[in-house]
Amino acid sequence: MLVIATSDKGGTGRSVTSCNVAYRRALQGSDVCYLDFDFGSPTSGAIFSIDPVSRGTEGGGLHSYLQGKIAEPQRIDVWRQTDRETLRSRPPGAGRLVLLPGDQGGGEFSMTKDILQRCTKLFVRLLEEFDLCVVDLSAGRSYAAELVLAATAQQELRGVPHRWLVFHRWTRQHVIAASGLVYGRRGLIEAGAERGHDSQVLADSIRFVRTAVVNPDSEELAGLRPTQVVWLLDCNKDLQELARQHQLGRTMVLATIPLDPVLQMREQLISDRDVWASQIANAATVAAFDQLARRIADDAAWDEL
Amino acid sequence: MPSPARSDAGGDGAGILIGEVHTGLLLNSASLRQDMLPAVLGLLPGERVRSFERPISHAVSPELLVGVDCDLSTASGTRVRGIGTLAVRAAITGGRVLQGSAWTRLMGGHAEHRLPWSHYLARPGVVETVGRRRNHPYHADLADGFLDRTNNRKAPGIDFGAICGQIMGEVQRSPYLDRRSPFKAARTTLRWVAEESPERRIGFILGDDGSRTTRITFDGQPISAVIELCEDLALHDWLLSTLLDVIDRGMPSDGPHETMMRRIRPAVDHLIHLWMPGARVVESLLPLWESLDTKPGFTRQWDTLVNRIRDQLALRTLTLLSASAEGVPGRNEQGIRS
């Protein structure tokens, strides 16, 4: 299955969440690969703590592959090559976790027929070996997004499930922007239909992920003054109404990721040890990643509309 | 543009054979039926797909030729340029396992510069070295250079991986496949070198990341027989690696029954019946297979794994049966109490 992660605005935590979801899914026993399609700023290497490719690779990444400079893009086994010792061995029962990094100084490019063909070939190639391919796009409308929309509409990928995750923060501006990215002019659905997708099928394969969400009922906010809590609850209610009006209502939400200080300070994988041993991360965050990782592949979560 | 190749053409028996076999899972929900094989493997219009039903379903695409002109990898780092063609083909075994196989015969050329292309086309499946090195004992240097993947040589050599990947990709994107395979499996790569020698021998080295190398000496068998031996070896090595992976993943001993079944089932449904070492190997090369079966002992390991799966399934079934036998009166009692 292909899962494509996108967002309208930057700073939504799209990359860090999708890396963590890839990691959780691998822990759950699936073979997972992560494709860094954020060609302008490939930073997934840093999130997986693979120092040599922290800002993209010099050894032939996805950018070079799509432009036809190399026959196959570089693959990095995360279990083996991560610098974080707590992640370095593949736990029993876990699947493969492989990163396909972008190129250092890659930059955007426009789509040609050859690039589209290479992209389709790559997806078919990876689907042979991996249960889940996470494609992380850059924020906003990009050529990479157009490319993936076009590739998934090709005959070779027709029978393969592909699902879109649209990340947004839980604020007015982000809700409106995320809605525009999906339903607006030149949005995902309109652009997808032009590329040969069935609008309804495509719409059914899109879900939203709310990130950095402050839960007004959580224990961490116990110190707030009652007036502040009331104000927060009101804001939350307004946002829910706004989201509903913009077709981002509860049934369209696949997961809600709580605000976590670790993710705010440093974008990284959160291991169980970060929660239980060093207690720097919140159990709720890991639970949210874990649930999202399960729901991605759970047909029931996508059928309920 | 690829053109048909003949694997037995190629000269006077001198030189060494080098090649690579990539093995992976065919992207289809069911095992591919025998009658579909010609459509999926018919990569060259007008050329026949060879297919066999016994002892196991097997089909081979026509051989294509790919032209190369590049520096060959050498163990010593000496620069040796090679020009000529590789032969490449795809094969499907048991309707389930896909292989891309490419090879060429490296021979010392007589020219000191590149000859007209017609010269090389007249020798399909042969790469000739260019330069004055033909009296130099370069066979061993080229063979060692080719097999050593870790060597940071200046010349990466012929990119067999790209050529095998290309032909496998073409098959996987066939309109006759649905690309919904019941499970996923990593590809493995077998790189091989074969030389003529009075003594028949085989060596096999297992590397990390799914890479394997093998070295063969043979005496007078046709090239096609050597290639089939390598393909058969690669196939069984892949089966073994894939089954090992399934077991590693699916058998944490205390996992829930459904999880174990979900993970073990593909192996039972799609892999176990494919084990047939030496099925397509000519008789005179069978002793080589048998020596590998003695050490490292492919079949012995395979049998152990298959037995382990069967034992686990039997134990689980017994546990489930006894649980349900105990469970039925338990429920009744509760029913009576309430």
Q: What is the average pLDDT across B226-249?
A: 93
Are B138 and B74 in contact, with CB atoms under 8 Å apart? Answer: yes
For residue A243, give the CATH number of its domain.
3.40.50.300
Range of the domain at A67: 2-297
Check if A93 contacts B (Cβ < 8 Å).
yes
Q: What is the pLDDT of residue B259?
A: 75
How many angstroms separate the CA of residue A158 from the nearest CA in chain B?
Answer: 9
Q: Which residues of B touch A159 (CB under 8 A)?
A: 178-180
Q: A72–B161: do the CB atoms touch at under 8 Å?
A: yes
H-type alpha helices, A4-56? 14-27, 44-47
How far apart CA B45 and CA B329 sit, in angstroms, is 68
Check if A271 contacts B (Cβ < 8 Å).
no
**Could you give the number of structural domains in chain A?**
1
How far apart CA A154 and CA B293 sit, in angstroms, is 45
Whether residues B55 and B198 share a domain: the answer is: yes
Phi and psi dihedrals of A25, rounded to 5? -65, -40
Instruction: Decide if B334 is inside a domain.
Output: no
Q: Which two tokens stand for residue A78?
A: 């995360």
Instruction: Decide if B2 is inside a domain.
Output: no
Instruction: Decide if A198 is inside a domain.
Output: yes
Minimum-distance CB partner of B169 among A29, A96, A121: A121
Whether residues B201 and B257 share a domain: the answer is: no
Q: What is the pLDDT of residue B328?
A: 57
Phi and psi dihedrals of A131, rounded to 5? -70, -35
Q: What is the average pLDDT across A231-248?
A: 91
- pLDDT tens column, A131-173: 999 999 988 888 999 999 999 999 999 889 999 999 999 999 9
The yes-or-no verdict on residue B99 having pLDDT over 50 is yes
H-type alpha helices, chain B? 37-41, 117-121, 138-147, 160-172, 223-250, 257-266, 286-294, 298-337
Whether residues B61 and B128 share a domain: the answer is: yes
**Could you give the number of structural domains in chain B?**
2
The yes-or-no verdict on residue B5 having pLDDT over 80 is no
Q: Which helix (H) or strand (E) holds B205?
A: strand B201-206
Whether residues B224 and B307 share a domain: the answer is: no
How far apart CA A128 and CA A10 sit, in angstroms, is 32
Whether residues B143 and B249 share a domain: the answer is: no
Whether residues B167 and B297 share a domain: the answer is: no
Q: Which of B178, B205, B233 is the last residue of a domain?
A: B233
DSSP reduced 3-state for A240:
helix
Instruction: Residue B26: count other Cβ atoms within 10 Å of its Cβ.
Output: 25
Q: B166–A71: do the CB atoms touch at under 8 Å?
A: yes
Q: What is the pLDDT of residue A295?
A: 93
- pLDDT tens column, A92-121: 889 999 999 999 987 777 889 999 999 999
Q: A129–B255: do the CB atoms touch at under 8 Å?
A: no
Q: What is the pLDDT of residue B166?
A: 95
How far apart CA A44 and CA A15 sit, in angstroms, is 7
> Where residue A298 falls among pLDDT bands split at 50, 70, 90?
confident
Q: What is the pLDDT of residue B229?
A: 96
**DSSP state for residue A85 in the 8-state scheme:** G
The yes-or-no verdict on residue B101 having pLDDT over 80 is yes
The yes-or-no verdict on residue B336 having pLDDT over 60 is no
Q: What is the pLDDT of residue B252?
A: 63
Average pLDDT score, chain A: 90
Task: Identify the residue among A64, A117, A128, A154 best suited for mutation to test binding to B, counting B beta carbons within 10 A and taking the highest.
Answer: A128
Whether residues B77 and B205 share a domain: the answer is: yes
> Where residue B149 falls among pLDDT bands split at 50, 70, 90?
confident
- pLDDT tens column, A188-236: 999 999 999 999 999 999 999 999 888 777 777 777 888 888 888 898 8
Q: Which helix (H) or strand (E) holds A255?
A: strand A253-258
ipTM exceeding 0.90, yes/no: no
How many angstroms separate the CA of residue B122 from the nearest CA in chain A?
Answer: 28
Whether residues B43 and B72 share a domain: the answer is: yes
Alpha-carbon distance values, A91 to A286, B22, B249, B251, B308 (Å): 17, 28, 10, 13, 21
Whether residues B91 and B203 share a domain: the answer is: yes
- pLDDT tens column, B162-181: 999 999 999 999 999 999 99
Whether residues B176 and B256 share a domain: the answer is: no
Instruction: Decide if A30 is inside a domain.
Output: yes
The β-bridge partners of A211 are: A169
Q: What is the pLDDT of residue B338?
A: 35
Are A56 and B149 in contact, with CB atoms under 8 Å apart? Answer: no
Q: What is the average pLDDT across B258-268?
A: 81
**DSSP state for residue B112 in the 8-state scheme:** S
Lowest pLDDT segment from A49-53, A68-72, A87-91, A206-210: A87-91
Instruction: Decide if A303 is inside a domain.
Output: no
Instruction: Decide if A304 is inside a domain.
Output: no
Q: B184–A31: do the CB atoms touch at under 8 Å?
A: yes
B205's CB contacts (< 8 A; 6+ apart) are B212, B213, B214
Q: Which residue has the tokens 């509409």?
A: A153
The yes-or-no verdict on residue B7 having pLDDT over 70 is no
Instruction: Decide if B46 is inside a domain.
Output: yes
The listed range with the strongest mean pLDDT (B59-73, B126-140, B250-264) is B59-73
Alpha-carbon distance values, B240 to B218, B245, B304 (Å): 25, 9, 11
Instruction: Decide if A109 is inside a domain.
Output: yes
Range of the domain at B166: 16-233
Q: What is the pLDDT of residue A88?
A: 86
Instruction: Decide if A302 is inside a domain.
Output: no
Q: A159–B180: do the CB atoms touch at under 8 Å?
A: yes
DSSP reduced 3-state for A183:
helix
How far apart CA A140 and CA A146 sit, in angstroms, is 11
Whether residues B199 and B269 share a domain: the answer is: no
Q: What is the average pLDDT across B325-337?
A: 52
Q: A127–B27: do the CB atoms touch at under 8 Å?
A: yes
Whether residues B34 and B152 share a domain: the answer is: yes
Q: What is the pLDDT of residue B295?
A: 83
Instruction: Decide if B329 is inside a domain.
Output: no
> Where residue A73 falls among pLDDT bands split at 50, 70, 90?
very high
> Where residue B334 falls among pLDDT bands split at 50, 70, 90?
very low
The yes-or-no verdict on residue A59 having pLDDT over 50 is yes
Instruction: Decide if B8 is inside a domain.
Output: no
Q: What is the pLDDT of residue A243?
A: 93
Q: Which residue has the higher pLDDT, A273 or A71?
A: A71
> Where residue B255 falls among pLDDT bands split at 50, 70, 90?
low
Instruction: Decide if B226 is inside a domain.
Output: yes
Q: Which residues of B touch A120 (CB under 8 A)?
A: 173
Instruction: Decide if A292 is inside a domain.
Output: yes
Instruction: Decide if A158 is inside a domain.
Output: yes
Task: Identify the residue among B22, B28, B160, B173 best suited for mutation to test binding to A, counting A beta carbons within 10 A and taking the highest.
Answer: B173
The yes-or-no verdict on residue A71 having pLDDT over 60 is yes
Q: What is the pLDDT of residue A221?
A: 72
Q: What is the pLDDT of residue B136?
A: 52
DSSP reduced 3-state for B89:
strand
Q: What is the average pLDDT across B197-203?
A: 90
Q: What is the pLDDT of residue B65?
A: 96
Are A138 and A146 in contact, with CB atoms under 8 Å apart? Answer: no
Q: What is the pLDDT of residue B13?
A: 46
- pLDDT tens column, B56-87: 999 999 999 999 999 998 888 888 899 999 99
Q: What is the pLDDT of residue B6?
A: 43
The yes-or-no verdict on residue B251 having pLDDT over 90 is no
- pLDDT tens column, B268-305: 889 999 999 998 899 999 999 999 988 888 999 999 99
Q: Which of B170, B202, B233 is the last residue of a domain?
A: B233
